Amino acid sequence: MPAYEEIANRQAELIRKALAGSVFVAPYGAPLPERLTSGRDAALVPLPQGYGDLGWINKDDGVNWARETEVSEVTSWGAWEPTRRDIQSDVTEMTVVAQETNIKTLGMYNNTDLSRVRAHPETGEVSFATAVRPATQYWRVFAVFADGAGDDTIYVGRLLPRAMVSEVGEQVWTDGEDDAVSYEMTLTATRDSEAGFSIRHFFGGPGWRKLLSKMGFEADQDAPATPHRPRRSVSVVSATVTRAA
């Protein structure tokens, strides 16, 4: 009988940590990101037109993901446990506490379309009213975090093609220490009929490629090589991802 040490396979290099990240948002109908990385250096690809960063995020909360499933059970005569289980629903939610006041955080938090709101030409003042009967707004949401540095950088992303703000947190106005005016929002992923999914997961980067075999993945030998893209084409996205430490 083998000893535990002989069958155990624990690899500390496979433990991930979100060292920095951003939540990119676009109006519903914007093009969907198809890739996270590209080229021989597995660098980030530019985001499609229309995506903008929510900005700084509360460090203690980061981006919180919750997944809730409901299961129906069939019980049978003489059986001590259910003999059949079927998943009836599988809902993913993302909660984020945005710290910047900008057109995206204001619009999403108040569930109000601000695309036609204009600032006063003299004072720069902006005002808008929350709709009495607001219509549900849907958004493209792409959350990305980075782990590691240089050639060991790993990127992890989650794409919600049709997300709605289903809940908002309270907002406190105070001069307390570390109490910035913030916008806590819970976004629920819903299925996009055209895309065919409610959430898509991305993993990439030069560090990820190095660990493929250790994680149990095999590269697709039949896939054509991706043309190399200069790093300058992704510098804007790369800088944005690393800013929300």
What is the residue extent of each domain of the chain? 20-105+139-241
Q: Is 139:163 a contact under the CB 8 Å cutoff?
A: yes
Q: Is the pLDDT of residue 119 over 70?
A: yes
* pLDDT in the model for residue 178: 76
Instruction: Determine whether 137 is exposed, middle or buried from the number of CB atoms within 10 Å of its CB (0-12, 13-18, 19+).
Output: middle
Radius of gyration of the chain from its Cα atoms, rounded to whole angstroms: 22
Q: Is the pLDDT of residue 17 over 90?
A: yes
User: Could you give the count of Cα atoms lying within 13 Å of 212 in the half-sphere of its Cβ?
Assistant: 10
Q: Is the pLDDT of residue 234 over 60?
A: no
Range picked from 134-138, 152-156, 179-183 for highest mean pLDDT? 152-156
The whole model's pTM is what? 0.85
Q: What average pLDDT does this structure show over 79-105? A: 95
- Digit-coded pLDDT (tens) for 174-206: 988 778 899 999 999 999 999 999 999 999 999
* Band of pLDDT at residue 240, cut at 50, 70 and 90: very low
Task: Quote the CA–CA distance of 172 and 99 in Å, as a whole number.
Answer: 12
* pLDDT in the model for residue 239: 40
